[in-house]
């Protein structure tokens, strides 16, 4: 299943031909590859390596966070490390590799990698905001998924943007700082389902409400 099928991207990207081929996704991927092909081949390799190792660092950090927050959760396999300090050793190889790649990379490769990470982060925030505001249709995400599973900085940015959108849509035509803060507070309350009559409704959820 693709990201659009899983509810991570708008359903418009899940379009398929009569043969079941994900036509829209293939065209979008081809456009990305065509854009990357304009770069120097060495810069492409450097960008791929930096992004890959950076992703590994994030995965290791996620592993440590999950072990700290949910130490007794059922897992398919166990790591023979008991202490939190021992888990930090997993960072060493990835950090060494990332440091070497960054130091040895050309300015173009490094800049391209940074730009790619920033663009994909912005795309994630944008799709999260689109789901919250109902701008696009999304498939339902797995049961139990909610806005609280997004990083805190993503929730803050989405809440702030939602407040700005609410201010723009108001009849007053203007918005003060208090109005933006109020929009943020309202957005956060809806996420947690604390509003009266809104229990269970989560605009960040990929269900019918979003």
The string of pLDDT tens digits covering residues 53-88 is 888 888 888 877 887 787 777 777 777 777 767 777
CB 120 within 8 A of CB 154: no
* pLDDT at residue number 118: 92
CA 183 to mean position of chain CA atoms: 22
Sign (positive/negative) of CA torsion 184, 174, 129, 152?
negative
pTM of full prediction above 0.75: no
Is 123's pLDDT higher than 60?
yes
Pairwise CA distance, residues 85 & 73, whole Å: 20
Biggest CA–CA distance in the chain, Å, is 61
Q: DSSP alpha helices (H): ranges in 10-151?
A: 23-36, 41-69, 84-88, 91-104, 107-133
């Amino acid at each position: 299943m693709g990201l659009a099928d899983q509810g991570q991207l708008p359903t418009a990207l899940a379009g398929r031909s009569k043969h079941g081929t994900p036509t829209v996704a293939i065209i979008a991927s081809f456009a990305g590859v065509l854009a990357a092909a304009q770069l120097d081949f060495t810069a492409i390799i450097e960008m791929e390596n930096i992004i890959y190792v950076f992703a590994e660092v994030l995965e290791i950090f996620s592993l440590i966070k999950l072990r700290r927050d949910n130490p007794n959760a059922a897992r398919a396999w166990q790591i023979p490390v008991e202490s939190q300090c021992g888990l930090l050793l997993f960072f060493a190889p990835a950090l060494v590799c990332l440091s070497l790649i960054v130091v040895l990379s050309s300015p173009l490769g490094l800049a391209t990698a940074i730009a790619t990470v920033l663009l994909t982060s912005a795309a994630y925030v944008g799709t999260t905001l689109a789901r919250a505001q109902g701008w696009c249709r999304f498939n339902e995400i797995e049961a139990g998924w909610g806005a609280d599973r997004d990083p805190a900085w993503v929730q803050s940015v989405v809440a702030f943007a939602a407040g700005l959108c609410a201010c723009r849509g108001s009849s007053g035509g203007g918005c003060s700082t208090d109005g933006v803060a109020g929009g943020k507070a309202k957005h956060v309350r809806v996420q947690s389902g604390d509003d009266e009559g809104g229990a269970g409704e989560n605009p960040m959820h990929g269900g019918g409400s979003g």
